[in-house]
Structure 1
Amino acid sequence: MSTATRRVAIVTGGSRGIGRAVAERLAAEGQAVVIAYARNDAEADAAVKGILANGGAAVAVKADVADEKAVEALFEVAEREFGGVDVVVHAAGIMLVGPLADFGLEDLDRMHRTNIRGTFVVDREAVRRVRPGGAIINFSTSVTKLATPGYTAYAASKGAVDAMTLILARELRGRDVTVNAVAPGPTATDLFLDGKDEATVERLAKASPMERLGRPNDIADLVAFLAGPGRWVNGQVVYANGGAI
């Protein structure tokens, strides 16, 4: 595919977990991918090398998604390296859990800075740069519907993502750019499994009629649809949890 016709995707949080599965999937479909990551240079480098080894095009950029200058620079790399931006998948986020009564305000502020401000900053830059025919895909969570105790602060931050997504889709009337959010349920990533005993993992797996945890590729399948052929899906929060709710 020539650079003139190749679509270009930015994937935040693209060095590991679901974000990495998304980056690899979009690259396999022929999109050039810019992987944004927060800290781990080795993981980002490995993600890029894996895509290049399979014939794809990718670069990695370290960026704090809540820092508007860093996000501007991220989009400028995409435009300089690949000619523009068509798809923005904002998968970066943090999850801190605990009962509301015991939850520290510093943790609340930290999570809201990444999950709410980060989404706002990334989406704002996406609105300014994504080309017609493009897609903006945010990441929410099924916990907003599952109402799982201990997830008050996290669910609140993702509820804000839902609101931004639904309104932004309508603000982009006439632009031919779709805006949706993907809301995964329990998904077998290293971060999700860390600290959970076997009984807890089994219970969470059984919550779905499919009787298993989601896999990163399950979520990547949905993102690829919304980023490509799913043009008539717009202004939606799409729950990807195997039927748990």
Structure 2
Amino acid sequence: MNEIDLNADLGEGFGLYAFGSDDELLASISSANIACGYHAGDPHQMRATVERCLERGIAIGAHPGLPDRLGFGRREMQVTPGEASDFVLYQTGALQAFVRAAGGKLCHVKLHGALYHMASTDQALAEAIAGAVYRFDPSLLLFGLPGSRLETAATECGLGFVPEGFADRTYRRDGRLASRQLPGAVWHEDEKAVAQAISLVKQGEAATIDGGSVVMRVRTICLHGDTPNAAQSAKRIRQALLAEGIIIQRPTR
């Protein structure tokens, strides 16, 4: 590979509460996943974030999560496939309204937090969500873990799928992300995140939590905005990739 997309989750503040390093991250990414009001975000954040992305030519995606603002969408909930489908449609449609009103185009959908992981392993949830996105707009891309149930469901219904890697996370041997509750699951050292980003693009490999590696073929890398020094880390990753001759651009089907 000689090209990669860099994405980040934005617009996760709400009301009087600021969150993340959105303005700084915008200088490093090519795609943005905008919170849609369930796990975080609100209508004003959505509008403002959409407008900032359009000003910079950054691809806009919906970032729907579970209705769990208190837990930031990172706690699993018992939801039916139909409920999950409705959650995704409701949030994606809300963001689409702001994108269209601003003269832009919605490009992709990336699930948030627990919903992301649940749809990666639960076939019924994966099929319901991929089908909902396809019915909403078959031209949209769906971001997710490579080799997951969600990838299978997207491929089977004809939806474009973009396999995603994480620069600051370690993996399990089966290719799933290691739980955030485990020591070493999240890296806070820029050097490790930079090295993993380069490895994901050039070698197609990522580090496992037990010190090994796992094959990980990806087309986009997530740069988390809710970690310490997130903006500086994102900048360093971008600069390192460019220095390796890697082109950073939004994914296409």
Q: Which of the five TM-score ranges fits, normalised by the shorter chain?
A: 0.3 to 0.5
TM-score (norm 2): 0.39
TM-score (norm 1): 0.40
Structure ranking higher in helix proportion: 1
Q: Which has the higher contact order (CA 8 A, sep 6+)?
A: 2
